[in-house]
Chain A
Amino acid sequence: MGNYFSPEYMAASFPVLLSYVGVSVFLTVISQSLALVLGSCIALVRVQRLRWISNLFAAYISFIRGTPFLVQLYLICFGLPRIIKALGAEDIRALPVVAFVVLVMVLHSAAYMSEIMRGSLESIDKGQLEACYSIGMTTAEAYRRILLPQAFRIAVPSLGNEVISALKSTSLVFNVGIVDMMSKAELMGSYSYRSLELYLDAGIIYVLLCFILHGLTELISNRHRLSGNAELVSEPATER
């Protein structure tokens, strides 16, 4: 029997691929923090029912949810530089591709997160807002001090799922020239002809990262568990 599958090679390449894990983690952390802020803002605008701006956001969310991440990635990373160039910018090479990838990931996740936040904001009892008004708070104060903290608590599990799926989508960004685990695995595979071992390694790393993120989500939602009679909406586990 020949040596078609080499566990030794798999073990030896694991640390090499692991050394690139920072790229995926960096992209996830940066994009998801920005997406949470943007998504919450969009949700706040949408629950106010400002008609035309709300419709505009609805169209944006529908577009993001209706098209594959890969299409959005290509559209922005290959299309946007052309638009910037056509608008008169001379040296678009100065903009690193990471900036475009972060932009795509933020726009992508913000759409999903805004829907999550809107759902949890709407699940909060109306009486809460009325109570805020009755003690003289402004709308802004009411949201900042009373409604948003509750909405975030309700949203934690769903937001965690969104972060996990964003992490998984970082496996696609090597297509536009990001040097990460996947491109390293591709490169190493083209020399060693042992792609299977390399992608199994990458798979193990992704699974471990997902477990860590899942654990963190559980930790946060346990710490901030809603007390008393507040209704916890538990979404069944589906892919978005």
Chain B
Amino acid sequence: MEDSIVDLTYALEAFRYLLGFVPVTLALAVGSMFLGSLLGLAVMFVRWRNVPILGKLGTGYVVIGRALPTLIILYVVFFAFPVFLLYVNDGQVSERFNAIPPFLFALVGLTLHSGAYLAEVFRTAVQSVNKGQMEAALACGMTWSQGFRRIVLPQAAVLAVPLMGNQFLSLIKNTSIAFMITVLEMFGAANYLSSISERYIEIYLALAALYWLVGMFFETLFRKLEVRLAVYKGSKV
């Protein structure tokens, strides 16, 4: 063990082991991206249309959600749930809490985190579309939702897709924080492995390489998607 500083064979071994946890990381990232997008869209709509109370709540959520470190959001979700259960069951110690996989808490926490950022992304995207477009759609006799779906959305998507891509890439990296609420994803697995072998350099280099590769894969994917969406560009008045 003392022979060399970096044992490449071991690094490769660690890489193979960590590869098995890529699906967990991706499930967490894709799941919270999907739910975060729904949340972000909802928040964007209530803010855009100035829904009385929800609009203000949405703004508060976006401001605070973006200022909070991800770890604190995860911790608050993780620790608030048992307290909530105690209230519901009025002090009965509940077995149900232990049955909930920590993955779900991480999913909720990361959704709340990315929802705040995505709400801003969607707002920027929708605001970038000229107001006249919607007015013209309404003048043609479309309903508001038709105008949004057929006219505004495709144009907003051109701007939103690269930003959503960035958000997804940073979300993949942020899933590493989920190991702190005991989710066994890529980082958690690396942490476990290093607690046994104490070969930190090899393990974390392998882990870094894995994150890097996963990130690059999605980056290429998004770039291709961007090229496809470019057809909708040039529709500016």
Interface of A toward B, CB cutoff 8 Å: 1-2, 4-5, 62-63, 66-72, 74-75, 78-79, 82-83, 86-87, 164, 168-169, 171-172, 175, 182, 195-196, 199-200, 202-203, 206-207, 210-211, 236-240
Contact = CB atoms under 8 A, between A and B. Distances in A.
Given A63-B212, A68-B211, A207-B68, A79 B200 contact: yes
B208 interface: yes
Contact of A67 (B191, B200, B211): B211
Given A236-B124, A238-B167, 15 more contacts: A62-B212, A69-B173, A70-B187, A71-B187, A72-B208, A74-B190, A74-B191, A75-B204, A78-B200, A79-B205, A168-B68, A172-B69, A196-B79, A206-B68, A239-B66
B163 A75 contact: no
Q: B interface, how many residues as a size bin?
A: 35 or more
B120 A238 contact: yes
Where chain A touches its partner, the secondary structure class is helix
Contacts of B177: 68, 70, 172
Given A2-B90, A75-B204, A207-B67, A202 B72 contact: yes
A78 B193 CA distance: 14
B133 interface: no
B173 A67 contact: yes
Interface string B50-79: 000000000000001011111111011001
Nearest to B86: A4
Contacts of A172: 69, 71, 177
A82 B90 contact: no
B93 to A, nearest CB: 11
Where chain B touches its partner, the secondary structure class is helix
A211 to B, nearest CB: 7
A5 B83 contact: yes
A239 B167 contact: yes
A239 B201 contact: no
A2 B68 contact: no
Give the most central of A71, A87, A237: most B CB within 10 Å: A71
Interface in B132-190: 159, 163, 166-167, 170, 173-174, 176-177, 180, 187, 190
B216 interface: yes
Contacts of A63: 208, 212
Contacts, number: 130
B5 A199 contact: no
B212 A196 contact: no
Contacts of B73: 203
A67 B170 contact: no
Contacts of A195: 75, 79
B201 A199 contact: no
B87 A82 contact: no
B121 A71 contact: no
20 contacts: A2-B91, A63-B208, A67-B208, A67-B211, A69-B173, A70-B176, A70-B187, A72-B208, A74-B204, A78-B204, A82-B201, A83-B5, A196-B79, A199-B75, A207-B64, A236-B120, A238-B121, A238-B167, A239-B166, A240-B170
B102 interface: no
A1 B87 contact: yes
B104 interface: no
A68 B83 CA distance: 31
A49 to B, nearest CB: 23
Contacts of A164: 67
Contacts of A69: 173
Give the most central of A68, A175, A199, A206: most B CB within 10 Å: A68
B212 A79 contact: no
Given A196-B79, A206-B68, A75 B208 contact: yes
B208 A240 contact: no
